[in-house]
Amino acid sequence: MSTQYQRGLAFTEEEIFGRGSPGRSGVDFSDGGFEDIADPAKMLPAGYVRGGLEGFPELSEPEVVRHYTRLSQWNFGIDSNMYPLGSCTMKHNPRVNEAVCRLNGFTDLHPYQPDEDCQGTLKLIHDLGRWLCEITGLHSATLQPAAGAHGEFAGLLMVRSALQKRGDARSKVLLPDSSHGTNPASAALCGYGSVTLKSGANGKIDLAELDRLMDEQVAALMVTNPNTLGIFESDIVKIAKIVHDRGGFLYCDGANLSALMGKGRFGDMGVDVAHLNLHKTFSTPHGGGGPGAGPVCVTEELTPFLPTPMVVKDGDKYKLDSGRPHSVGRVHGFNGNVGVLVRAAAYILSMGPEGLREATEAAVLNANYIKARLKEHYHTPIEGNSLHECVLNDKYQNEHDVTTMDIAKGLIDRGFHPPTIYFPLIVRGALMIEPTETEPKETLDDFCDAMIDIAEKAKADPESLKQAPVNTIRRRLDEAHAARNPELRCTLCS
């Protein structure tokens, strides 16, 4: 096993409140005519000056810089090492995307400026929508939604509006038991009940079960393809026919587009509406609550219901068009999270069609390489090749009283962020691993070596894994207690 991730210096850090000594400061205004600036009481009315805060830190500049630098070193991110969260696609974001989105023409633009002053940004939004439609094989797109779940909501709103226009309001949505947790929430927000569609033994949608459940009250089937087991729904065309023949719409959760980009298109499979996660597939910042973007692509039938305003081309100019009587209305302020859209456009332009296709091929290769190396050490609940992610579980380790949680904590000691655990829910003790296309073979081998070492440790010394992590600032926390009894208020401020 590589030793490059062995622990070296790991700084502990105390709370900053109460540290330092009275009068210590990072600046000195006592000489040079700046005394008034240094004293807020001389600059502001009395009502705007807060009294002293007991325990407020008084520190020198190096102390402040070191405090926050040390705290930042506790964070783990994609710039630290592989981040194998399944279904989240935590891959490296090319720095050229960051440079482009920081161009003054984008950053200095005010959302209330008239269309004629925003032609470059409007063109980018218009072009990005066309590119996403080409990639998905669908007709039109909205770039307003701020995330995948927001895109689901917008997509189902359009389905509901289309059905209402037909005079065929329906009451429920079908959801495979392997679907993302946001799917039932989106259905509920749009007024639909959720009906679970059980998977077959092969991890795919059971056509007979779909045929049984697909009745005149089903508005849509929300399918993820490839699904959360990393398996392609090979019967997707048959699935689409069953749904369409009974008057429903086929919604595709596009969270896993990294496995299809340049290889297969949703529209060619019979999908009516799909959201895309730009912060996953198209390499924009991800995690920490955002920002994200979840554009929605639709068929021509659903195009009249797209959110407004839409960016349209008028001659050689671009403008915002709100004159769409069947639109579901605005779903985001202004034009969405434009900074994320700029990054995604830069990524697509820099990759080109061949680059996008190669990214898919590398993502699938990496996932299957990991699965092949680990299959003798971890149980594989579904046999066969995976696409961009693979799902293992803790069945073998359970024989030694070691669980998925212990495996995840053991990975932290070995320098890796754990993969997604206990999801999808249909796999007991799941370990859902997505390496993405940006990881080299050396990193994949280091990860696999760490996983194999944990599997061997589970046999020889299971108790050591129960104590993991030990090479971290904080030891294992009681997560169940924290979830049930959260302390959300700082005791220093109460």
Q: Read off the amino acid at residue 86.
A: G
What is the C-alpha to C-alpha distance for residues 417 and 76, in angstroms, rounded to an integer? 7
- Residue 39 above 90 pLDDT? no
What is the C-alpha to C-alpha distance for residues 176 and 212, in angstroms, rounded to an integer? 14
Beta bridge partners of 392: 431
Mean predicted confidence (pLDDT) in 2-27: 74
- Residue 4 above 90 pLDDT? no
The token pair that represents 334 in the structure block: 């202004």
- Residue 17 above 90 pLDDT? no
- Residue 210 above 50 pLDDT? yes
Computed over every residue of the chain, the mean pLDDT equals 92
Least trusted range by pLDDT, from 33-37, 100-104, 125-129, 249-253? 33-37
Q: Read off the amino acid at residue 405.
A: M
In this prediction, residue 276 carries a pLDDT of: 97
- Residue 121 above 50 pLDDT? yes
**Helix H or strand E encompassing 194:** strand 193-197
The CB density around residue 347, as the number of other CB atoms within 10 Å, is 22
Kind of pairing, strands 172-176 and 140-142?
A: unpaired
Q: Which long-range contacts (CB under 8 A, 24 or more apart) does 111-114 make?
A: 111/333, 111/334, 111/335
In this prediction, residue 33 carries a pLDDT of: 65
| Continuous H helices in 326-478 | 338-374, 395-398, 404-413, 441-460, 462-467
| Continuous H helices in 109-147 | 119-136
- Residue 184 above 90 pLDDT? yes
**Domains of the chain by start residue, with CATH:** 95-350 (3.40.640.10), 358-484 (3.90.1150.10)
Least trusted range by pLDDT, from 318-327, 435-444, 454-463, 475-484? 475-484
In this prediction, residue 44 carries a pLDDT of: 84
In this prediction, residue 491 carries a pLDDT of: 55
Q: Which long-range contacts (CB under 8 A, 24 or more apart) does 8-11 make?
A: 10/73, 10/471, 10/472, 10/473, 11/70, 11/73
- Residue 5 above 70 pLDDT? no
Q: Read off the pLDDT band of 490 (50, 70, 90).
A: low
40 Cβ partners below 8 Å, 6+ apart? 49
Structure confidence by residue, pLDDT tens digits, 58-80: 999 999 999 999 988 888 888 88
Structure confidence by residue, pLDDT tens digits, 332-391: 999 999 999 999 999 999 999 999 999 999 999 999 999 999 999 999 999 888 999 999
The CB density around residue 336, as the number of other CB atoms within 10 Å, is 23
In this prediction, residue 1 carries a pLDDT of: 46
Kindly report the CA angle at 166 between 235 and 308, in degrees rounded to 5?
A: 90
What is the C-alpha to C-alpha distance for residues 402 and 396, in angstroms, rounded to an integer? 9
pTM of the model: 0.90
- Residue 7 above 60 pLDDT? no
- Residue 11 above 80 pLDDT? no
Which among 136, 216, 219, 213 is positioned nearest to 177, based on CA atoms?
Answer: 213
The token pair that represents 318 in the structure block: 């671009």
What is the C-alpha to C-alpha distance for residues 429 and 378, in angstroms, rounded to an integer? 11
461 Cβ partners below 8 Å, 6+ apart? none
What is the C-alpha to C-alpha distance for residues 208 and 260, in angstroms, rounded to an integer? 26
